Structure 1
Amino acid sequence: MNLCLYLSVVAIWGTTWIAIFAQQAASGGSVGAAVFWRFIVASLVMLLILKAVKRLRALNARDHFFCLLQGCCVFGFNFFCFYHAAAWINSGLESVIFSMAVLYNALNSWIFFRQRPSVRLLPATALGIGGIVALFWQELHNSEASVTLLWGIGLSALGTLGFSLGNMISLRHQRLQRDVLTTNSYAMLYGALAMALLTLSQGESLQPVWNWQWAGALCYLAIFGSVIGFGAYFTLVGRIGASQAAYSTLLFPLVALALSTLYEGYQWHAEAFLGLTMILAGNLVMFARLPVLRRRVAA
């Protein structure tokens, strides 16, 4: 079950980056409006389904407050950063920065829940971060693109921090045995409403863009990327912990960079292949089962 959830998250979220790029290219409009429509559609679909199958659970005022915080972190603030970053770097490289969620989650789990990181985390993270550096190696040495690259990296890293903080709130919900689908639904709703207020306060319109590319990207991002993807991910957080669940983000580049090669003209180089090899090695270190030696104590 955990493996199916893990692979589902990798496959779905590895493809959402190109959909974000497609939606932005089709609209050329407000980032806040794009994020709003993605999560208002996702939240309403989830709430209607849960209500229809009688799975919508009651939450108290404190739970709703934490859903609001989760929504702002995971379904608002972080995607506001990611959508803006898409103007500076391609979707494949953006997904690579998101891989730092594994490090953020390990540190935040330690800070907020006193969960000691696994002994595998340090070597696995070293390989993962080293792989990220290798993937970016040529871009970092391109002086003409250095300023825009740094803007893209900074916004993506900031968005990843927001995502990680939302993970901690989801972990709080599940420790209190709150239903993950119910809390996700309300968090998406609150995140969408927060983005609507931010967009309107900036004097921008929430009016959608009526063309097939924008609508298709919206449907994919709302249903697959949000309803299914986040449902699977936060279920995984509850089952194996935030640190290990976030390690799935280190496999996104395999999917995202492949799509970026086809649709955005990403140029592969030796360092990129080395980087992906290191990222895969990090996954192996993190999750491969090692034999455990046991002492037999005589009675």
Structure 2
Amino acid sequence: MPFKRLSAVTLAAFFALYVIWGSTYFAIRVGVEEWPPFMMAGVRFLMAGTVLFLYLKLRSTPNPSMREVLGGAILGVLMPGVGNGLVTLAEKDVSSGVAALVVATVPLFTTLFARLFGQPARWTEWGGIVLGLVGMALLNLGANLKASPSGALILVLASAGWALGSAWSKHLTQPKGLMSSAVMMLSGGLALLLASLARGETLAAWPSWHGWAALLYLVVFGSIIAYTAYLHLLKTVSAAAATSYAYVNPVIAVLLGVMLLGEHVGVHELGAMAVIVAGVLLIGWKR
């Protein structure tokens, strides 16, 4: 449906994903300077999931069934766990803006996975994905990813995990309403803390207020608000449209990285960003 016919809630959800999630790359980059990556991501989602679950129980929301918990847990491992967890790990070596640009591969993977589940893609969506791939090719010519090929691989794996969860979400039985977000974040947080334990992560020192501020921003805005908005979009628009944030987030992330973190953005990165932003215009055509 055209944007002018979308509900106010759906439009607000698009705004939350485009702007808030764009700023989370900056917050992650600040946070991993003082937190071990999987530990920070695990604490983030465990805190957000606990707050949301307690809020729902105070409103007398019924507990989900075991089948719903299983579906939510699968998505939690794929999306907060693999998706956000690997992005957090990669930002130890890759700039926040470039990380957001690599995650632009999400719509490509989502469309491919959606086809496996029987959902066709429109020609405009394919066209937007092609532009995204061209942007990725330009990005790999820049100095940022050449300096960290392992970081680039980790980000691609993160994108694939997130996209699989996005496409699968329409075919899995999940808890209803906000309980779905709570179960996903709790399961993803637990999976990340187990990964942190397996990697032997420890705090070198107690985080400063910068580290705690970054974590709290990710809990409230990046998790509770934005995740709820994303799940709303997955249920109301196509998977490709819901993941179109991946083309807009880089603009926000690059601007914040340059202005607040002093990150360098070269000609290849700027060219890649221009092509990727053009992709979102095409992927959302007549949406």
TM-score normalized by the length of structure 1: 0.85
1:129/1:212 Cα in 2 relative to 1: closer, same or farther (>3 Å)?
A: same
Instruction: Note the alpha carbon deviations across 1:239-274, whole angstroms, 9 max, x for none.
Output: 112122111211111100001112333334444343
TM-score normalized by the length of structure 2: 0.89
1:59/1:172 Cα in 2 relative to 1: closer, same or farther (>3 Å)?
A: farther
1:9/1:163 Cα in 2 relative to 1: closer, same or farther (>3 Å)?
A: same
Structure 1 residue 196 displacement after superposition = 2.3
Alignment of structure 1 residues 47-66 onto 2, 5 Å:
47-54=53-60, 56-66=61-71
Instruction: Note the alpha carbon deviations across 1:129-184, whole angstroms, 9 max, x for none.
Output: 212333443327xxxx73x42111100011111111221343234xx574241111
User: Aligned pair 1:131/2:128, yes or no?
Assistant: no
- The residue that corresponds to 1:242 in the other structure is 239
Question: Residues of 2 paired with 1:72 and 1:63: CA distance?
Answer: 14
User: Aligned pair 1:160/2:159, yes or no?
Assistant: yes
User: Aligned pair 1:3/2:3, yes or no?
Assistant: no
Question: Residues of 2 paired with 1:278 and 1:69: CA distance?
Answer: 33
Match of 2:216 among 219, 233, 239: 219
- The residue that corresponds to 1:296 in the other structure is none
- The residue that corresponds to 1:71 in the other structure is 76
User: Aligned pair 1:275/2:272, yes or no?
Assistant: yes
- The residue that corresponds to 2:256 in the other structure is 259
Structure 1 residue 206 displacement after superposition = 7.7
Give, as a single letter, the amino acid of the residue that structure 2 aligns with 1:189.
L
Match of 1:187 among 179, 184, 189: 184
Tell me if the contact between 1:75 and 1:188 (Cα under 8 Å) persists in the aligned partners.
yes
User: Aligned pair 1:86/2:91, yes or no?
Assistant: yes
- The residue that corresponds to 1:295 in the other structure is none
Structure 1 residue 207 displacement after superposition = 10
- The residue that corresponds to 1:44 in the other structure is 50
* SS in structure 1 at match of 2:206: coil
Structure 1 residue 208 displacement after superposition = 8.9
Match of 1:96 among 75, 95, 101: 101
- CA RMSD, Structure 1 to Structure 2 (Å): 2.3
1:129/1:57 Cα in 2 relative to 1: closer, same or farther (>3 Å)?
A: farther
Question: Residues of 2 paired with 1:135 and 1:89: CA distance?
Answer: 13
Question: Residues of 1 paired with 2:151 and 2:272: CA distance?
Answer: 19
Structure 1 residue 32 displacement after superposition = 2.3
Give, as a single letter, the amino acid of the residue that structure 1 aligns with 2:123.
V
Alignment of structure 1 residues 166-177 onto 2, 5 Å:
166-173=165-172
Question: Residues of 2 paired with 1:207 and 1:89: CA distance?
Answer: 21
Stretch deviating more after TM superposition (280-289 or 179-188): 280-289
Unaligned runs of 5+ in 2: 1-6
Question: Residues of 1 paired with 2:278 and 2:262: CA distance?
Answer: 26
Give, as a single letter, the amino acid of the residue that structure 2 aligns with 1:92.
G
1:57/1:10 Cα in 2 relative to 1: closer, same or farther (>3 Å)?
A: farther
Alignment of structure 1 residues 5-24 onto 2, 5 Å:
5-24=13-32
Q: Give the total of aligned pairs.
A: 279
* SS in structure 2 at match of 1:120: helix
Question: Residues of 2 paired with 1:58 and 1:76: CA distance?
Answer: 23
Tell me if the contact between 2:72 and 2:174 (Cα under 8 Å) persists in the aligned partners.
no
Give, as a single letter, the amino acid of the residue that structure 2 aligns with 1:38.
R
- Rg larger for: 1
Question: Residues of 2 paired with 1:163 and 1:180: CA distance?
Answer: 20
Stretch deviating more after TM superposition (154-163 or 269-278): 269-278
Structure 1 residue 232 displacement after superposition = 0.4
Tell me if the contact between 2:244 and 2:280 (Cα under 8 Å) persists in the aligned partners.
yes
Moved runs in structure 1, 4+ residues, more than 6 A? none
1:201/1:87 Cα in 2 relative to 1: closer, same or farther (>3 Å)?
A: closer
1:10/1:212 Cα in 2 relative to 1: closer, same or farther (>3 Å)?
A: same
User: Aligned pair 1:115/2:152, yes or no?
Assistant: no
